[in-house]
Structure 1
Amino acid sequence: MGADLNQRLFSAADNLRSKMDASEYKNYLLGLIFYKYLSDKLLQQVVELADEPINEYDTPDKQVVLYEELLSDEDTKADLIATLVDTLGYDIEPKYLFNVLANQAKQNLFQLNELNNAFNQLSSKYELFSGLFDDVDLHSKKLGSDDQQRNVTITEVLKKLNDVNVLVHKGDVIGDAYEFLISQFASDAGKKAGEFYTPHMVSDMMAQIVTIGQEDKKLFSVFDPTMGSGSLMLNVRNYLTYPESVKYHGQEMNTTTFNLAKMNLILHGVDAEAMNLRNGDTLNKDWPTDEPYMFDSVVMNPPYSAKWSADATFLDDSRFNRYGKLAPKSKADFAFLLHGYYHLKDTGTMAIVLPHGVLFRGAAEGVIRKKLLEDGSIYAVIGMPANLFFGTSIPTTVIILKKNRTSRDVLFIDASNEFVKGKNQNQLSDDNIKKIVSTYKERKDIDKYAHLASFDEIKKNDYNLNIPRYVDTFEEEPPVDMVAVGKETKELRQKKRELEESLFATISTLQVRPEDEAWLQSALEVFDHEK
């Protein structure tokens, strides 16, 4: 299924690639894939509600016929719509269903206005979908200079996406589609992709770590204050005994990306009541401030070394006022970390991805880091390989934080040299992730890989957490066997002499023209001399 989704996305992108920047056309493709999911999910639900055998209604076209029949009966129409809204949270009129519009596209009867009406009806009727399709601008001149050209462009895209079976896709449909688009068109689509998409293998590792010891909680809350596409939050439920009871709390400043996250959660069957999402600036104003505002796990992949106001008034902000200094204006890394940490429960675990500079930079950052270490807040530092994230090749570190610890030691893991080399991006294998997680759990020294540093050791290093200070990965060159080298040199010289003699004998027997005899004799004398 993954290959099929990627192939069709690539093909559909062909119709948009020459018209606009990839960071724009991904919005069209993801928005349409999402709408297709809603449409196909509704039809599947109709077959189930009608108690009809699924094998008799195994295509969207047959399902549409059944849907229209049920709606034509005035006695059942209202109940059917009410049940769909109750179970799915929405309904869609038959004429606006994705495959109905796609069939019109195949017959060149499609009208762009119908798709626009479909988006508007869903967005205005149900608050959950409000603003979700704003980035799918069907009137954009980039789709074509006039309505007819725009109609042609979207017609081709609908036809190519219609055969994608989004309901049987295993995994994260929006996340997988997004990751594929970014990886294929990273030259323009990936400008800042690392800021709002955490590669699945890194997300998976972080999810495993923040759920350790909390797997059996019947109610579990996760918070991502820089949630991007939402995939980092969603991965957490894969390691919980009661995944259906997770509450998701997230904030994202970029409206387009906020909509992407909302789509992602809906695609994963997350109910509206289980979502607490906000489109806003994480640092400039604390959120959430109402209950609940403390969470079982906090996961973050904030924009690296971003700028922020660092206004002096933040020294009175409860998120930052314990640390004596504010993160510098030019590097908000510690501001993001402290914001997330503030919202962590006493029993929870936080994992945040940051550039290595936070481990050793001085000035205000050094003051904040020292206070975190004195409080025992930093539990582990994991060095990741370079070139894992889209849009940046720098190596990153995952910092794990906890509250109310009795010890102030820090586990250092240097996983920077263990990865699978990729063409554009490096990747972590399942074995790479298993080794990191098992090392994290065991919390013991492993030669050239991990070290549990005491607080005194860290203090002696002036609170510098640069990983090479604690994990020595230097490999000594093996000693050179001079006897073997001498023997090999002698053998090579002997072989050279034998080859030269053989060549000399061959040249001596050559038949030459009289005019070349003088030249050959001269060459043989030189050769014999050098030999």
Structure 2
Amino acid sequence: MLQYANNILSEDGIIYTGIDESSADGQEYLAEIKQEAIQEIGYFLKPGELFHAIAIRASKADTDAQEGFILDDLSRVLSNIESSTMGSESEEDFIHLFEDLDLTSTKLGRTEKAKNELIAKILSHLDNINFGLASSNSDVLGDAYEYLIAQFASGAGKKAGEFYTPQAISSVLAQLVTTGKDRLKSVYDPTCGSGSLLLRIAKEVEVGSFYGQEMNRTTYNLARMNMILHGVHYRDFNLCQDDTLEHPQHREQRFEAVVANPPFSAKWSANPLHLSDDRFSQYGKLAPKSKADFAFVQHMLYQLDDNGSMAVVLPHGVLFRGAAEGHIRQYLIADRNWLDAVIGLPANIFYGTSIPTCVLVFQKMQGTPR
């Protein structure tokens, strides 16, 4: 926000933090900047609401208890970020973005004073770091956020698998769907978690638009924040929160690259009504209620463009389990010839599970069935 506002004000020879918010001239400047900021970067903050301003007030926590109490200020600023987008094109990407941030949690301290001191100390330390935000080649802030997600995942046990794919696996999937390409028009992850897998593709090639869906509300907020902190413009990502198999939000769209690390052998409804759903109807059978692995594959193939590539991580059992899964597997290979490669992965490489897994790679333009 600061960098954007300073660029607007450069012709007038003033800086954003030098604007007097209480003066008539200052309010006029702020009104004009807000209009442009909402349009271009999606949100707006006044000079006194910028991170540095809050951090300066936080630095007074040890010298002036009244001046240095910033928990209320911080809550207000986060609320203002969201409210500034109301009625604008960016509202969907910012609304309720900070709803999981609980500044009243006892994990931050037993008393309000202890909580304030901890937050103040964190803000002061962060304010002393040069994140190189002015450099167009720098993504320190986004990389730092992703590092923190990875560190949290490493200690989160079984739950980590719900929101984070290990970086080495993300890199493999990204390279598989970008081979021979310099740019992708669109990429899609139907179980996007924190969004790190989508962003990993952008490290391989230029990406036009990111699409994803995530069922868990907290994880969905992580993904939106991940996009924003990596500098992805709000118009260039479309993430939705809902059950992908039961309520797909992008079903009318087709994507040049599709990647996913779905929850292994998850349960789903397997409602017979799905047999009339275009995503599943051509197969003649649904994935079993106790194992949705092939349901995710069917959904992903439906969303994949004819010239696209798809890579998905699945439990090893999808390669040999029979019944409905065997029928679906035969249709994919013998009838459609969509399966391009199978890559076996060893056990103990995913958070929260020790089972061996595999990567299935699909291409719709495979030629005639074998």
Fold shared per TM-score above 0.5: yes
Q: Unaligned regions of 5+ residues in structure 2, if any?
A: 62-67, 86-90
**3-state DSSP class of the match of 2:340?**
strand
Structure 2: distance between partners of 1:309 and 1:82: 46
Give deviations 1:478-516, integer Å, cap 9, x for gaps. Answer: xxxxxxxxxxxxxxxxxxxxxxxxxxxxxxxxxxxxxxx
Aligned partner letter, 2:219: T
Structure 2: distance between partners of 1:235 and 1:198: 10
Does the aligned pair in 2 maintain the 1:132–1:259 contact within 8 Å? yes
Aligned residue number for residue 93 of structure 1: 46
User: Residues 77, 159 of structure 1: CA spacing in aligned structure 2 closer, same or farther, 3 A cutoff?
Assistant: closer
Residue 295 of structure 1, CA deviation: 0.9
1:110 to 69, 91, 95: 69
1:365 to 321, 325, 343: 325
Give deviations 1:309-345, integer Å, cap 9, x for gaps. Answer: 1122222221112222211122111111111111111
Does the aligned pair in 2 maintain the 1:173–1:267 contact within 8 Å? no
For residues 192-203 of structure 1, the aligned pairs below 5 Å read 192-203=159-170
Indicate the percent of aligned positions where both proteins have the same amino acid. 45
Structure 1: distance between partners of 2:338 and 2:16: 59
1:207 to 174, 180, 183: 174
Does the aligned pair in 2 maintain the 1:237–1:246 contact within 8 Å? no
Aligned residue number for residue 174 of structure 1: 145
1:67 to 17, 24, 31: 17
Aligned residue number for residue 35 of structure 2: 82
**3-state DSSP class of the match of 1:192?**
helix
For residues 99-498 of structure 1, the aligned pairs below 5 Å read 99-108=52-61, 109-126=68-85, 127=91, 128-166=93-131, 167=133, 168-170=138-140, 172-183=143-154, 186=155, 189-216=156-183, 220-240=185-205, 243=206, 246-290=208-252, 293-374=253-334, 375-408=336-369, 455=370
Does the aligned pair in 1 maintain the 2:38–2:84 contact within 8 Å? no
Does the aligned pair in 2 maintain the 1:283–1:336 contact within 8 Å? yes
Structure 1: distance between partners of 2:128 and 2:288: 51
User: Residues 216, 107 of structure 1: CA spacing in aligned structure 2 closer, same or farther, 3 A cutoff?
Assistant: closer
User: Residues 216, 143 of structure 1: CA spacing in aligned structure 2 closer, same or farther, 3 A cutoff?
Assistant: closer
Aligned partner letter, 1:69: I
* Larger deviation, residues 246-255 vs 189-198: 189-198
Does the aligned pair in 2 maintain the 1:195–1:304 contact within 8 Å? no
Structure 1: distance between partners of 2:182 and 2:270: 37
Structure 2: distance between partners of 1:216 and 1:102: 40
Structure having the higher helix fraction is: 1
Aligned residue number for residue 7 of structure 2: 48
Structure 2: distance between partners of 1:114 and 1:246: 37
Residue 403 of structure 1, CA deviation: 1.3
Aligned partner letter, 2:144: V
Aligned partner letter, 1:231: S
User: Residues 276, 362 of structure 1: CA spacing in aligned structure 2 closer, same or farther, 3 A cutoff?
Assistant: same
User: Residues 136, 383 of structure 1: CA spacing in aligned structure 2 closer, same or farther, 3 A cutoff?
Assistant: same
**3-state DSSP class of the match of 1:361?**
coil
Does the aligned pair in 1 maintain the 2:43–2:82 contact within 8 Å? no
User: Residues 328, 46 of structure 1: CA spacing in aligned structure 2 closer, same or farther, 3 A cutoff?
Assistant: same
Residue 353 of structure 1, CA deviation: 0.6
Structure 2: distance between partners of 1:111 and 1:195: 33
Does the aligned pair in 1 maintain the 2:174–2:200 contact within 8 Å? yes
Higher relative contact order (CA 8 A, sep 6+): 2
Aligned residue number for residue 421 of structure 1: none
Residue 169 of structure 1, CA deviation: 4.5
Aligned partner letter, 2:340: Y
Structure 1: distance between partners of 2:298 and 2:128: 46
User: Residues 163, 85 of structure 1: CA spacing in aligned structure 2 closer, same or farther, 3 A cutoff?
Assistant: same
Residue 260 of structure 1, CA deviation: 0.9
Give deviations 1:253-286, integer Å, cap 9, x for gaps. Answer: 0111111111111122222222221100011123
Does the aligned pair in 1 maintain the 2:109–2:115 contact within 8 Å? yes
TM-score with structure 1 length normalisation? Answer: 0.61
Does the aligned pair in 2 maintain the 1:230–1:265 contact within 8 Å? yes
Does the aligned pair in 1 maintain the 2:153–2:160 contact within 8 Å? yes
Residue 407 of structure 1, CA deviation: 4.5
Does the aligned pair in 2 maintain the 1:196–1:301 contact within 8 Å? no
Residue 66 of structure 1, CA deviation: 4.9
Structure possessing the higher radius of gyration over alpha carbons: 1
Does the aligned pair in 2 maintain the 1:348–1:403 contact within 8 Å? yes
TM-score with structure 2 length normalisation? Answer: 0.85
User: Residues 77, 216 of structure 1: CA spacing in aligned structure 2 closer, same or farther, 3 A cutoff?
Assistant: closer
Structure 2: distance between partners of 1:77 and 1:279: 33
Equivalenced residues, count: 346
Give deviations 1:106-151, integer Å, cap 9, x for gaps. Answer: 2111231111111111112212321110110123344344533432
Structure 2: distance between partners of 1:46 and 1:70: 14
Structure 2: distance between partners of 1:82 and 1:124: 14
Give deviations 1:354-388, integer Å, cap 9, x for gaps. Answer: 11111111122111111111110111001123333
Structure 2: distance between partners of 1:259 and 1:249: 14
